[in-house]
Homo-oligomer: A and B are copies of this chain.
Protein backbone atom coordinates (compact mmCIF):
# COMPACT_ATOMS: atom_id res chain seq x y z
CA UNK A 1 0.00 0.00 0.00
CA UNK A 2 1.01 3.68 0.12
CA UNK A 3 3.54 4.14 -2.69
CA UNK A 4 2.73 3.10 -6.22
CA UNK A 5 5.28 1.12 -8.22
CA UNK A 6 8.17 2.86 -9.96
CA UNK A 7 6.91 1.79 -13.37
CA UNK A 8 4.24 4.51 -13.10
CA UNK A 9 6.92 7.14 -13.56
CA UNK A 10 6.46 6.27 -17.26
CA UNK A 11 3.52 8.54 -18.12
CA UNK A 12 2.46 6.48 -21.16
CA UNK A 13 2.29 3.35 -19.01
CA UNK A 14 0.40 5.11 -16.25
CA UNK A 15 -2.12 6.50 -18.78
CA UNK A 16 -2.59 3.07 -20.30
CA UNK A 17 -3.25 1.54 -16.88
CA UNK A 18 -5.72 4.30 -16.01
CA UNK A 19 -7.51 3.58 -19.30
CA UNK A 20 -7.55 -0.12 -18.55
CA UNK A 21 -8.84 0.32 -15.00
CA UNK A 22 -11.36 2.90 -16.25
CA UNK A 23 -12.91 0.47 -18.77
CA UNK A 24 -12.88 -2.35 -16.26
CA UNK A 25 -14.45 -0.15 -13.56
CA UNK A 26 -17.24 1.09 -15.80
CA UNK A 27 -17.66 -2.43 -17.14
CA UNK A 28 -18.21 -3.73 -13.60
CA UNK A 29 -20.47 -0.84 -12.55
CA UNK A 30 -22.67 -1.23 -15.62
CA UNK A 31 -22.64 -5.04 -15.29
CA UNK A 32 -23.91 -4.53 -11.74
CA UNK A 33 -26.76 -2.28 -12.91
CA UNK A 34 -27.72 -4.44 -15.90
CA UNK A 35 -27.65 -7.68 -13.91
CA UNK A 36 -29.81 -6.13 -11.20
CA UNK A 37 -32.22 -5.12 -13.97
CA UNK A 38 -32.11 -8.60 -15.54
CA UNK A 39 -32.87 -10.12 -12.11
CA UNK A 40 -36.40 -8.74 -12.55
CA UNK A 41 -36.84 -11.40 -15.26
CA UNK A 42 -36.15 -14.23 -12.79
CA UNK A 43 -38.84 -16.93 -12.56
CA UNK A 44 -38.51 -17.38 -8.76
CA UNK A 45 -37.39 -15.31 -5.77
CA UNK A 46 -34.49 -17.71 -5.27
CA UNK A 47 -33.27 -17.15 -8.84
CA UNK A 48 -33.81 -13.40 -8.44
CA UNK A 49 -31.67 -13.37 -5.31
CA UNK A 50 -28.99 -15.52 -7.01
CA UNK A 51 -28.60 -13.12 -9.93
CA UNK A 52 -28.68 -10.18 -7.50
CA UNK A 53 -25.79 -11.81 -5.63
CA UNK A 54 -23.80 -12.04 -8.87
CA UNK A 55 -24.54 -8.36 -9.49
CA UNK A 56 -23.30 -7.44 -6.02
CA UNK A 57 -20.00 -9.27 -6.65
CA UNK A 58 -19.52 -7.08 -9.73
CA UNK A 59 -20.14 -3.98 -7.63
CA UNK A 60 -17.44 -5.01 -5.14
CA UNK A 61 -15.04 -5.46 -8.06
CA UNK A 62 -15.93 -1.95 -9.17
CA UNK A 63 -15.05 -0.67 -5.69
CA UNK A 64 -11.59 -2.31 -5.84
CA UNK A 65 -10.87 -0.77 -9.23
CA UNK A 66 -12.13 2.62 -8.12
CA UNK A 67 -9.81 2.59 -5.07
CA UNK A 68 -6.87 1.77 -7.30
CA UNK A 69 -7.69 4.64 -9.66
CA UNK A 70 -7.79 7.01 -6.68
CA UNK A 71 -4.38 5.69 -5.57
CA UNK A 72 -3.01 6.43 -9.04
CA UNK A 73 -4.30 10.01 -8.53
CA UNK A 74 -6.84 9.52 -11.32
CA UNK A 75 -10.41 10.81 -11.06
CA UNK A 76 -12.54 7.64 -11.35
CA UNK A 77 -15.35 9.44 -13.16
CA UNK A 78 -12.92 10.89 -15.74
CA UNK A 79 -11.19 7.53 -16.14
CA UNK A 80 -14.50 5.79 -16.87
CA UNK A 81 -16.03 8.49 -19.08
CA UNK A 82 -14.30 7.56 -22.39
CA UNK A 83 -15.79 4.04 -22.22
CA UNK A 84 -19.36 4.83 -21.24
CA UNK A 85 -20.70 5.13 -24.80
CA UNK A 86 -19.21 1.83 -26.00
CA UNK A 87 -20.23 -0.17 -22.93
CA UNK A 88 -23.73 1.36 -22.79
CA UNK A 89 -23.99 0.74 -26.54
CA UNK A 90 -23.22 -2.93 -26.03
CA UNK A 91 -25.86 -3.24 -23.30
CA UNK A 92 -28.51 -1.37 -25.29
CA UNK A 93 -27.99 -3.63 -28.30
CA UNK A 94 -28.09 -6.76 -26.15
CA UNK A 95 -30.90 -6.12 -23.66
CA UNK A 96 -32.16 -9.63 -22.85
CA UNK A 97 -35.87 -10.25 -23.40
CA UNK A 98 -35.99 -13.42 -21.30
CA UNK A 99 -34.42 -14.78 -18.15
CA UNK A 100 -32.37 -17.30 -20.15
CA UNK A 101 -31.07 -14.67 -22.57
CA UNK A 102 -29.98 -12.71 -19.49
CA UNK A 103 -28.10 -15.70 -18.07
CA UNK A 104 -26.39 -16.52 -21.37
CA UNK A 105 -25.43 -12.87 -21.77
CA UNK A 106 -23.86 -12.76 -18.33
CA UNK A 107 -21.99 -16.03 -18.81
CA UNK A 108 -20.76 -15.40 -22.34
CA UNK A 109 -20.16 -11.66 -22.01
CA UNK A 110 -18.45 -11.82 -18.64
CA UNK A 111 -16.42 -14.80 -19.86
CA UNK A 112 -15.04 -13.06 -22.95
CA UNK A 113 -14.33 -9.83 -21.08
CA UNK A 114 -12.53 -11.74 -18.31
CA UNK A 115 -10.43 -13.69 -20.81
CA UNK A 116 -9.46 -10.49 -22.55
CA UNK A 117 -8.45 -8.69 -19.36
CA UNK A 118 -6.62 -11.76 -18.11
CA UNK A 119 -4.55 -11.84 -21.32
CA UNK A 120 -3.84 -8.12 -21.07
CA UNK A 121 -2.82 -8.45 -17.42
CA UNK A 122 0.26 -10.41 -18.52
CA UNK A 123 1.72 -7.09 -19.72
CA UNK A 124 1.11 -5.23 -16.46
CA UNK A 125 3.25 -4.59 -13.40
CA UNK A 126 2.64 -7.29 -10.74
CA UNK A 127 0.59 -5.11 -8.39
CA UNK A 128 -1.86 -3.96 -11.08
CA UNK A 129 -1.98 -7.50 -12.46
CA UNK A 130 -3.03 -8.90 -9.07
CA UNK A 131 -5.73 -6.26 -8.77
CA UNK A 132 -7.11 -6.98 -12.24
CA UNK A 133 -7.09 -10.73 -11.65
CA UNK A 134 -8.83 -10.19 -8.30
CA UNK A 135 -11.54 -8.12 -9.96
CA UNK A 136 -12.12 -10.93 -12.47
CA UNK A 137 -12.41 -13.67 -9.86
CA UNK A 138 -15.59 -15.65 -10.28
CA UNK A 139 -17.22 -16.81 -7.06
CA UNK A 140 -18.39 -20.07 -8.62
CA UNK A 141 -21.34 -18.20 -10.09
CA UNK A 142 -20.91 -19.80 -13.48
CA UNK A 143 -22.18 -23.09 -12.08
CA UNK A 144 -25.57 -21.60 -11.25
CA UNK A 145 -25.92 -20.26 -14.79
CA UNK A 146 -24.77 -23.46 -16.49
CA UNK A 147 -27.21 -25.56 -14.45
CA UNK A 148 -30.16 -23.23 -15.17
CA UNK A 149 -29.51 -23.04 -18.91
CA UNK A 150 -28.89 -26.78 -19.36
CA UNK A 151 -32.05 -27.62 -17.44
CA UNK A 152 -34.13 -25.24 -19.56
CA UNK A 153 -32.77 -26.73 -22.81
CA UNK A 154 -33.47 -30.25 -21.58
CA UNK A 155 -37.08 -29.26 -20.93
CA UNK A 156 -37.44 -27.41 -24.24
CA UNK A 157 -34.79 -28.47 -26.79
CA UNK A 158 -35.90 -25.83 -29.32
CA UNK A 159 -34.32 -23.23 -27.03
CA UNK A 160 -30.81 -24.43 -27.94
CA UNK A 161 -30.90 -23.01 -31.47
CA UNK A 162 -32.30 -19.65 -30.39
CA UNK A 163 -29.84 -19.26 -27.53
CA UNK A 164 -26.89 -20.27 -29.74
CA UNK A 165 -27.91 -17.50 -32.14
CA UNK A 166 -28.15 -15.11 -29.21
CA UNK A 167 -24.63 -16.12 -28.11
CA UNK A 168 -23.25 -15.32 -31.57
CA UNK A 169 -24.97 -11.95 -31.56
CA UNK A 170 -23.43 -11.14 -28.19
CA UNK A 171 -19.94 -11.85 -29.53
CA UNK A 172 -20.56 -9.73 -32.61
CA UNK A 173 -21.78 -6.76 -30.60
CA UNK A 174 -18.92 -7.08 -28.10
CA UNK A 175 -16.32 -7.10 -30.89
CA UNK A 176 -17.89 -4.14 -32.64
CA UNK A 177 -17.80 -2.06 -29.44
CA UNK A 178 -14.26 -3.23 -28.61
CA UNK A 179 -13.05 -2.05 -32.02
CA UNK A 180 -14.67 1.31 -31.38
CA UNK A 181 -12.71 1.64 -28.12
CA UNK A 182 -9.44 0.44 -29.66
CA UNK A 183 -9.74 2.99 -32.48
CA UNK A 184 -10.30 5.83 -30.00
CA UNK A 185 -7.81 5.09 -27.23
CA UNK A 186 -4.12 5.07 -28.07
CA UNK A 187 -3.08 4.41 -24.48
CA UNK A 188 -4.85 1.08 -24.52
CA UNK A 189 -3.04 -0.08 -27.64
CA UNK A 190 0.33 0.74 -25.98
CA UNK A 191 -0.25 -2.10 -23.54
CA UNK A 192 -0.53 -4.56 -26.39
CA UNK A 193 2.21 -3.28 -28.68
CA UNK A 194 4.52 -2.16 -25.85
CA UNK A 195 5.56 1.19 -24.38
CA UNK A 196 8.65 2.63 -22.67
CA UNK A 197 8.63 0.60 -19.45
CA UNK A 198 7.13 -2.67 -20.67
CA UNK A 199 7.56 -4.93 -23.65
CA UNK A 200 3.97 -5.41 -24.87
CA UNK A 201 2.70 -8.35 -26.84
CA UNK A 202 3.73 -7.87 -30.42
CA UNK A 203 1.41 -8.55 -33.33
CA UNK A 204 1.90 -12.34 -33.52
CA UNK A 205 1.11 -12.68 -29.84
CA UNK A 206 -2.03 -10.54 -30.28
CA UNK A 207 -3.23 -12.95 -32.97
CA UNK A 208 -2.56 -15.91 -30.68
CA UNK A 209 -4.34 -14.13 -27.86
CA UNK A 210 -7.52 -13.75 -29.90
CA UNK A 211 -7.24 -17.40 -30.87
CA UNK A 212 -7.16 -18.41 -27.20
CA UNK A 213 -10.08 -16.13 -26.31
CA UNK A 214 -12.17 -17.61 -29.14
CA UNK A 215 -11.33 -21.17 -28.09
CA UNK A 216 -12.41 -20.48 -24.51
CA UNK A 217 -15.62 -18.91 -25.74
CA UNK A 218 -16.40 -22.10 -27.70
CA UNK A 219 -15.76 -24.20 -24.59
CA UNK A 220 -18.12 -22.00 -22.58
CA UNK A 221 -20.89 -22.25 -25.18
CA UNK A 222 -20.47 -26.04 -25.17
CA UNK A 223 -20.70 -26.18 -21.39
CA UNK A 224 -24.08 -24.44 -21.75
CA UNK A 225 -25.09 -27.06 -24.32
CA UNK A 226 -24.89 -24.56 -27.19
CA UNK A 227 -22.88 -24.48 -30.42
CA UNK A 228 -20.63 -21.42 -30.75
Contacts and interface: CB of A to CB of B under 8 A. Distances in A.
Nearest to A44: B77
A60 B55 CA distance: 12
Nearest to A55: B36
A29 B45 contact: yes
A137 B203 CA distance: 53
A11 to B, nearest CB: 24
Contacts of A37: 36-37, 40
B84 A66 contact: no
A56 interface: yes
Interface stretch (A46-54, A118-126, A166-174): A46-54
Interface in A27-74: 29, 32-33, 36-37, 39-40, 44-46, 48-49, 52-53, 55-56, 59-60, 62-63, 66
A32 B26 contact: no
A59 to B, nearest CB: 5
A59 B66 contact: no
A66 B80 contact: no
A215 interface: no
A182 interface: no
A85 interface: no
B44 A29 contact: no
A33 B39 contact: yes
Q: Top 10 nearest A-B pairs by Cβ distance?
A: A36-B36, A45-B77, A56-B59, A46-B77, A56-B56, A45-B80, A33-B36, A52-B59, A33-B39, A29-B49
